[in-house]
Structure 1
């Protein structure tokens, strides 16, 4: 598979390895995000040992690890009785050669022996520090990596020299893969999200509709059962989690709404929601003007565009897809896809705002997010508390150009956003898939910014 982007992460790893002294890096992120491909790309032209852990008995895990080390050094496999001896054996070998040592899916090892972080602490302190080699621990269980490797209670706390929390591609990054015009690219991104594996499964020489039917709606396709597979690898009993994700994906976003849609009581529901947040499958959001810790106006959304698409369109229609996928696409997906894409469009517009802030075209603003109160909602609000300045923006994925009516609505709603002083400075922006009515830009004051799709594309193209 072609390797895309990740230049910043590669630069960080390369800088660390080329600098004097040892390195202990931690690379983590949810499944399918590209951690293994990143590390293999980094090691492709460097001497390295790569060990992929598996869900098997501790003794067999340890034997395979020692065999991997011995094979690299063309050594006879020694008899090893514990992880302390296995790591000591590795340390003796690293004293003779500078290497990158990668232990992938490290949580599987911890699952069989929770003392392993202590053994690694001794290895780092007593042997790795005396070398110029690099140890990389990699894992998909974010909670395990953050608690057993990075957490304050971990024996390894404070030993790492760097870490990479690998994220899915943003839309701007994904454009390198998505070979469509920007309108279709946003639609496609609303289906695949930024997970590299999902992005590369589509054939962009074919229409988006054909890709959806071939790569998602076919029972033999990789993506047809992908979310269910992911949940079963992380959770013993995924049924309730599946129902929660479907509820959120179909518009039930508050705790009360989710409870009503799933029949799960508030007490257990809060634990399920926290687990899904730990797995990075959902995000909790509060109005950007509110305190995340104190606000009770929380909403949840599915954190991945593909999962949101799957739980909205695939999971509820599995039986029909098995019998007549074309009818499901034509009758259910195609007519409702614009509404689904509209949510993604808001996220893409927020990317544009941050890009414009970094480029000095807007702001600066310290926080950017959504705002709502009662019946009022604003798609994007930016806050600059030090300058007493606020940005308010609306995003429209519609077939008609935007005109004065939307600008007037945004002005009216801005008066109800309680933030800053009475003399705050207000900046406005409008985003539109179908552009703007003639003369709108000239009719609006200078504090208004208008972004059509071409403007958004140009913003992303700025370095």
Structure 2
């Protein structure tokens, strides 16, 4: 796959690798986001890259020794009874700078929990003065506990800890070579996961890709969530239950708890875990304190999961009967509604990505509640300028808007009714699938403008 984006991550890693002392660099994030590709793009001839497998630690040492032997001839001629023996020999042989990249490091730690303490010793005693160590893993929970918890041996030892997140939506149009409108549709299913984009490009059409990769019970992505959950969960039943309920429209914690027949206190921790892993998110109205707000609504945070728990899980029995076309037809009948929610998401994310009319805005959120006239009101996009003078107030439409003037005027009026709008300059914005005035009015953004704003990093 062509290497897209990741400019900031590459720059941080390369700067760390220029330092004289041996560095420890930690790279983590959910599977299929391109961590291994990033490392391979950084290392060069003479560096050592090892992809660990879920095997016994003796076999792992043999495999790593064989990889090291490609650089240091005869390194695998010895038998290494411990990791300390292997690293001691490596430390003796190094005469020139190189990188030792240990990919899927959590597999190594599962087989030998002493490894983090050994690497701590290597770093603290500067035994790796001639080589840098990169550790990488898809188990977000284990990588966090090994490097970010104060009780961990590696806490405070890494010079860089980089979480690899999904790519921004704007890049999908380049990779799939499609227009921006189609790009929004593609993103609503594949999200920003590079591997999904790669698989999608193997098919001539969107429908064929969805049917063959996801809906077909033999498709490579048909059981994808189960594989991802294995990285961070002992069992996935509860995660499946929570995501299925949210996918079916249960967005308040009280509603989710009621459908599970459990008190809300029992599901708070598993919900928080899904949020930390990037699978769920909690939305609150713009301007409210996340800690105190009672209006939190839970939604699926990642497009692929949104599609999966809306159109795969509810129809698993039908898909087992190979009714793939029929399930896809159900998706097609709800397509605009499904895509519109991700269109709103992209519109909000595009606001702080770049200046808007030379004004920089902070993060955008939805707003709902009672306006200054004590009337219920909802607004799709609200953001405040960094200087506090302006409020951007936006309406999102995944449809053609032939006459946007009245809609912009109405959005301006709604913005003025916000409880926190006093003394603010309201900037009304229309985000539309298409509009005849989009080329002449900077306050109208269509997919091409939104997706271009989301080519960041």
Range with bigger deviation, 241-250 or 2-11: 2-11
Any idea what the Cα deviations from partners look like across 1:51-105, whole Å, max 9, x if unmatched?
A: 22233344443444344334531224334343333332332233x1221111111
Q: Which moved more, 1:67-76 or 1:152-161?
A: 67-76
**1:337 matched to which residue of 2?**
335
Bigger RCO (CA 8 Å, 6+ sep): 2
- Distance in 2, matches of 1:57 and 1:408, equals 67
The answer to which of 13-22 and 212-221 deviates more is: 13-22
Decide whether the 8 Å contact of 1:142 with 1:278 is kept in 2.
Answer: no
In structure 2, the partner of 1:224 is 222
Any idea what SS the aligned residue of 2:394 has? strand
What is the deviation of 1:335?
Answer: 0.9
Instruction: Spell out the pairing of 1:43-82 with structure 2 (5 A cutoff).
Output: 43=43, 45-77=44-76, 78-82=78-82
| Correspondence 1:110-149 to 2 at 5 A | 110-128=109-127, 130-131=129-130, 133-149=131-147
Distance 2:294 2:90 in 1: 51
Q: Distance in 1 between matches of 2:432 and 2:11?
A: 36
- Structure 2 residue runs of 5 or longer lacking an equivalent are 371-375
Distance of aligned partners of 1:84 and 1:287 in 2 relative to their CA distance in 1, 3 Å threshold: farther
TM-score, length-scaled by structure 2: 0.89
Structure 1 segments (4+ residues) deviating >6 Å: 437-440
Point out the more displaced range, 77-86 or 245-254. 77-86
Distance 1:461 1:271 in 2: 34
Partner SS, residue 72 of structure 1: coil
Task: Report how far residue 130 of structure 1 moved.
Answer: 2.5
In structure 2, what is the equivalent of residue 450 of structure 1? 444
* Alignment of 1:364 onto 2:360: yes
RMSD: 2.7
Q: Which residue of 2 aligns with 1:6?
A: 6
CA contact 1:184–1:208 (8 Å) conserved in 2: no
Query: Aligned match of 1:241 in 239, 242, 247?
Result: 239
2 CA distance for matches of 1:240 and 1:143? Answer: 17
Deviation (angstroms), 1:230: 1.9
Residue-pair matches, total? 450
CA 1:181–1:386: 2 relative to 1, 3 Å: closer
1:444 aligned residue: none
Segment drifting more, 269-278 vs 384-393: 384-393
SS in 1 for 2:399: coil
Q: Does 1:201 align with 2:199?
A: yes
Deviations 1:92-147 (A, max 9, x none): 233x122111111122233344443222111012234532x221010112222222
- For 1:461 and 1:121, the matched residues in 2 are separated by 38
| Structure 1 range deviating more: 276-285 or 185-194 | 276-285
What's the secondary structure of 2:353's corresponding residue?
Answer: helix
- Corresponding residue for 2:210? 212
Query: Which residue does 1:309 correspond to in 2?
Result: 307
Q: Structure 1 residue 461: deviation in Å?
A: 7.5
TM-score by length of 1: 0.88
1:445 corresponds in structure 2 to: none
Describe the shift of the 1:438–1:266 C-alpha distance in structure 2 as closer, same or farther (beyond 3 A).
closer
Equivalence for 1:407: 408
Structure 2: how far apart are the matches of 1:462 and 1:35? 18
1:162 to 157, 160, 163: 160
Q: CA deviation at 1:317?
A: 0.8
Tell me the secondary structure at the aligned position of residue 130 of structure 1. coil
User: Aligned partners of 2:333 and 2:41: how far apart in 1?
Assistant: 41
Residue 33 of structure 1 corresponds to which residue in structure 2?
33
Residue by residue, what CA displacement relative to the aligned partner does 1:305-333 show, whole Å, maximum 9, x if unpaired?
A: 01110110111112212332111112x11
Q: Please list the CA deviations of residues 151-174 of structure 1 after superposition, one character each: whole Å capped at 9, or x if unmatched.
A: 333222222222321110111122
Q: Distance in 1 between matches of 2:59 and 2:414?
A: 63
Shift of 1:336: 0.4
In structure 2, how many angstroms separate the alpha carbons of the residues matched to 1:299 and 1:286? 7
- For 2:373, the equivalent position in structure 1 comes to none
2:157 is paired with a residue whose SS is coil
